[in-house]
Amino acid sequence: MEKFTQHTGVGVPLRRSNVDTDQIIPAVYLKRVTRTGFEDALFAAWRGDPAFVLNQDAYRAGSVLVAGPDFGTGSSREHAVWALKDYGFRVVISARFADIFRGNSGKQGLLAAQVAQEDIELIWKILETRPGTEITVDLDARTVTCDDVVVRFHVDDYTRWRLMEGLDDIGLTLEHEAEIAQFEARREPWRPRTLPAKHLPKVEIAAARPAGTPLELGPTRSA
Amino acid sequence: MAGTLAEKVWDAHVVRRGTDGAPDLLYIDLHLVHEVTSPQAFEGLRLAGRPVRRPDLTIATEDHNTPTLDIDRPIADTTSRTQIETLRSNAAEFGVRIHSLGDADQGIVHQVGPQLGLTQPGLTVVCGDSHTSTHGAFGALAFGIGTSEVEHVLATQTLPLAPFKTMAITVDGELPPGATSKDIILAIIAKIGTGGGQGYVLEYRGEAIRSLSMEARMTICNMSIEAGARAGMIAPDETTFAYLQGRPHAPEGADWDAAVEYWRTLRSDDDAQFDAEVVLEAADLEPFVTWGTNPGQGLPLSGSVPRPEEIADENERVAAERAIEYMGLVPGQPLRSIPVDTVFIGSCTNGRIEDLRSVAKVLQGRRKHDDVRVLVVPASARVRLQAEAEGLDRIFLDFGAEWRNAGCSMCLGMNPDQLTPGERAASTSNRNFEGRQGKGGRTHLVSPLVAAATAIRGTLSSLSDLDLPEGTDISSFDGTPLAPLDPRVLVQV
């Protein structure tokens, strides 16, 4: 993962609360098996509206999204983070993030910076008064600078450290492989295993009968 | 020290305690996999040359993309077909058990785990799907994860996790007739908001929760994520044990006794401290529906569409205005007057056998409203078999509904089952986001009983709107079988 210490880019005001992951990327775009190429899917339902913020020239090249509270609620799809990153966003600022979205962001090097709603209102006003204004986000100092406004943001210490070091979680965990093996050795034997598979009696599945087809009753089923 | 249920399960899975603000490393007992959030995770393993550490704690099924018609033909949508074929080849390459289309245990991942007896009390359960919270109904700590975490669990069978806070949600008393567990959870979300559970594991308790079946408990835990919570839990009890006993992967003999002895310890101690507490009175509840575009925008069915000017909070007012416009509603309009085009009965929230039975009891001997299409989609192929063995499919077909194969279907519209722009649905699913069920589609979240009554009348309705025969006991719409099982089909769901 790329290291993140400081980022400066055009701020994009998204005056909406409860931006769920279905809005960030609708389900129809989740069928791809790749991890990149989702930029067109970002906010797909809203991109058709000429008034939508990303359709305005001043914001088109934005890389710092400033959104209303409860950003990233709903589905766990990491595609939401991939779409934001593929479009060019490096930072999302909101007063509250959904837990899974926040976790996914941290894994992918997208900074989810938590800022008080009153500070977001200030930043929105600046970005709307002077479209194209750049925002500087300093992860080391935990500050967001927009014009003459400097506010602190919250990010948990561990995520901050991992982002600044650009560390891969799986590699970090596998350093403790011996402890995982010890834990496995003391698990109760009755805890379930998926293998070998145990089944109920085998049943053949045919397609459900098409809608409207007259029903033929089986010999043992009384009408 | 006294502990909550969530803390007990957490503590039993700590591989390594985090120091200096680092998260704990938690062991994962069961990893459920589906086609949408796993391809990039398997690709990551392949690139790093890593195996799946514990294929024997991993299971895959096909659900999000699968068609509900023509399952015996190649999948028409080529991107969907590619994604499903990718899961099949990944499962084969990494040695992961998979239940594919045409298999009796194919279906929504959150039905497959419980029906196989793999979901058990005290486990840690994860899946790349936010509705993994469903499994908390068994007293498991179960939560949705992103694709990076899917790869992490495949590679290490662990996850680094920062501790959650705990919230007790007590539902006292007894539900009135016609109200269901869906109404309980919709009322909870309306009360605490879509962000109210953020950072918390919710524990549902109280008399009304204890009296619920496992299916009804799953409905409640399923929608914990809609309150923003990572997980929801219910302490296991005799209802839980009875559901599990005899299922394929439930412990047997002496193992069963040892397991039950442990499971009985899985309850919050009487003096356990929760970080937050919420109390609801079940007797005050009535059928609940959503009017807006997030699950917290819900009201009792007897209410009316809100008037935004009466909402004090600016953000909420703007959100309400936007939602009412998107939904094509008028402020002040009675909810009961809203006509729907489609009724969708299914999903990991309400696609289980009990849901289908209670709907069938309402629909039996009636015809659907002329202007409504009705889609009934069982959560798994085995639920479908069970329903057919009880003759429920015949009731649905006679009613004029479509009886489909198992999968996520119209809950999120990844397969062809979608709303068209402007189309309005009463849906037993879990999310009413803009475009969730198809671009431009409008969703009202409802219980199965409200869905059934709405399918009959054509407008949002509850059992009390129906002309039920004199003496009908509407408290009996409780999911008991309507007819003896067809002896040719020995299933258990």
DSSP B8-21: HHHHTTEEE---TT
Q: Does B321 touch chain A (CB under 8 A)?
A: no
Chain B, 366 to 385: residues with Cβ < 8 Å from chain A are: 381-382, 384-385
Partner-chain contact B152 A170, CB within 8 Å: yes
Question: CB distance A205–B403 less than 8 Å?
Answer: no
Which pLDDT score, from 0 to 100, does residue B491 have?
Answer: 61
User: Phi then psi for B419, rounded to 5 degrees?
Assistant: -80, 150
Q: In the predicted model, is pLDDT for residue B493 greater than 80?
A: no
Q: Say how far apart CA A143 and CA A113 lie, in whole Å.
A: 9
Q: Which two tokens stand for residue B304?
A: 């009316």
Structure tokens given for A151: 């506010």
Q: Token pair for residue B222? A: 């399923």
pLDDT of residue A204: 66
The closest CB to that of A17, out of B21, B319, B404, belongs to B319
Helix (H) or strand (E) holding B379: none
B245 vs A196: CA distance, rounded Å: 19
Share of chain B above pLDDT 70, in %: 98
**pLDDT value of residue A218:** 37
* Chain A partners within 8 Å of B200 (Cβ): none
Is B431 within 8 Å of A22 when comparing Cβ atoms? Answer: yes
Q: Identify all chain A residues contacting B412, using CB atoms and an 8 Å cutoff.
A: 22, 27, 75
Let me know: does A110 contact A24? Beta carbons within 8 Å.
no
Query: Nearest-CA distance from B432 to chain A in Å?
Result: 10
Smallest CA–CA distance from A214 into chain B, residue: B397
Q: Which residues of A touch B162 (CB under 8 A)?
A: 156, 158
Cα gap B116→B243, rounded to integer Å: 11
Q: Are B266 and B9 in contact (CB under 8 A)?
A: yes
Q: Is B482 helix (H, G, I), strand (E, B) or coil?
A: coil
- Do B218 and B180 form a contact (C-beta atoms < 8 A)? no
Asked whether the beta carbons of B413 and B438 are under 8 A apart, the reply is yes
B-chain residues within 8 Å CB-CB of A206? Answer: 72
- Asked if the Cβ–Cβ distance from B318 to A15 is below 8 Å, we say yes
End-to-end alpha carbon distance in chain B: 39
Distance of alpha carbon B363 from alpha carbon B236, whole angstroms: 33
CA distance A43 to chain B (A): 11
* Partner residues linked to B141 by β-bridges: B124
pLDDT at res. B120: 98
Q: How many CB pairs under 8 A join A and B?
A: 264
Q: How far is B174 from chain A (nearest CA, A)?
A: 30
Tell me if B486 and A27 make a contact (CB, 8 A cut-off). no
Instruction: Name the residue facing B228 among A73, A76, A200 (closest C-beta).
Output: A73
Q: Are the CB atoms for A54 and A60 separated by under 8 Å? A: yes
For residue B281, list its beta bridge partners: B172
**What is the number of helices (H) and of strands (E) in chain A?**
9, 7
How confident is the model over A7-30, as a mean pLDDT?
96
Give the tens place of pLDDT for each residue, A34-83: 999 999 999 999 999 999 999 999 999 999 999 999 999 999 999 999 99
DSSP B469: P
Q: Where are the alpha helices (DSSP H) in B284-331?
A: 314-327
A194–chain B nearest CA distance, Å: 5
Per the CB < 8 Å rule, is A180 touching B155?
A: no
Determine how many CB atoms are found less than 10 A away from the CB of residue A33.
18
Say what the alpha-carbon torsion angle B334, B339, B344, B345 is, to the nearest 10 degrees: 50
Q: Does B71 touch chain A (CB under 8 A)?
A: yes
| DSSP type of residue B68 | S
In this complex, do B491 and A200 lie within 8 Å of one another by their Cβ atoms?
yes
| Closest chain B C-alpha to A142 CA, distance in angstroms | 17
Taking the CA of residue A48 and the nearest CA in chain B, the distance in Å comes to 12
User: Given A79, A205, A210, which is nearest B103 (Cβ)?
Assistant: A205
Residues of chain A in contact with residue B315, where contact means CB-CB under 8 angstroms, are 17, 68-69, 117
Q: What is the pLDDT of residues A139-192, one digit of tens each?
A: 999 999 999 999 999 999 999 999 999 988 899 999 999 999 999 999 999 999
Find where tokens 């003096």 sit: B271
- CA-nearest residue to A172 within chain B is B160
- Write down the mean pLDDT value for chain B: 95
**Is the Cβ pair B105, A70 closer than 8 Å?**
no
pLDDT confidence of residue B468? 86
Q: State the nearest Cα–Cα gap between B488 and chain A, in angstroms.
A: 8
- If one counts every other C-beta atom within 10 angstroms of the C-beta of residue B435, the result is 24
When CB atoms are compared, the residue of B105, B152, B198 closest to A169 is B152
B115, with CB counted inside 10 A (0-12, 13-18, 19+), is buried
* Band of residue B480 on the pLDDT scale cut at 50, 70, 90: confident
Rounded CA-CA distance B180/A109 in Å is: 43
pLDDT at A221 over 50: no
Contact between B433 and A74 using a beta-carbon 8 Å cutoff: yes
Contacts of A158 in chain B (CB under 8 A): 18, 21-23, 160, 162
**Strand pairing partners for B155?**
none
Distances (CA, A) of A66 to A62, A70, A199, B197, B346: 10, 12, 51, 23, 37
For residue A181, the surrounding DSSP H or E stretch is helix A177-185
- Domain range B5-278, its CATH number among 3.10.450.50, 3.30.499.10, 3.30.930.10, 3.30.70.20: 3.30.499.10
Query: Order of strands, edge to edge, in the sheet holding B342-345?
Result: B402-403, B373-376, B342-345, B424-427, B442-445
Mutation site for A-interface testing, chosen from B100, B149, B192 by largest number of A Cβ within 10 Å: B149
In chain B, CATH 3.30.499.10 covers: 5-278, 336-476
Has residue A219 got a pLDDT over 60?
no
Chain B residue closest to A36 (CA)?
Answer: B40
Amino acid at B241: F
In chain A, beta strands by DSSP E: 6-14, 64-67, 91-94, 111-114, 134-138, 143-146, 149-152
Q: Is B402 on the interface with A (CB under 8 A)?
A: yes
Per-residue pLDDT at A222: 31
Who among B18, B97, B255 is closest to A195 (CB)? B97
Q: How far apart are CA B368 and CA B454, in angstroms?
A: 9
Whether the CB-CB separation of A112 and A65 falls below 8 Å is answered with no
Q: Is B273 on the interface with A (CB under 8 A)?
A: no
CB atoms B435 and A23 under 8 Å: yes
Q: For B87-142, what is each residue's pLDDT tens digit?
A: 999 999 999 999 999 999 999 999 999 999 999 999 999 999 999 999 999 999 99
ipTM tops the 0.85 cut: yes
pTM: 0.94
Chain A residues within 8 A of B385 when measuring between CB atoms? 203, 205
What are B445-461's pLDDT values in tens digits? 999 999 999 999 999 99
Measure B258 CA to nearest chain A CA, in Å: 8
**Torsion angle, alpha carbons of B36, B39, B44, B50, to 10:** 110
Pick A35's closest partner by Cβ from B40, B433, B488: B40
First to last CA, chain A: 64
B271-312, pLDDT tens digit by residue?
999 999 999 999 999 999 999 999 999 999 999 999 999 999
CATH of B336-476 among 3.30.499.10, 3.20.20.10, 1.10.3720.10, 3.50.30.30: 3.30.499.10
Q: A6-173 is classed in which CATH architecture?
A: Alpha-Beta Barrel (3.20)
Token match 């930029």: residue? A39
Give the CB-side neighbour count of residue B129, counting CA atoms within 13 A: 30
Beta-bridge mates of residue A66: A13, A93
Q: Which two tokens stand for residue A189?
A: 């034997």
Can you tell me which residue has the tokens 């959560």? B379
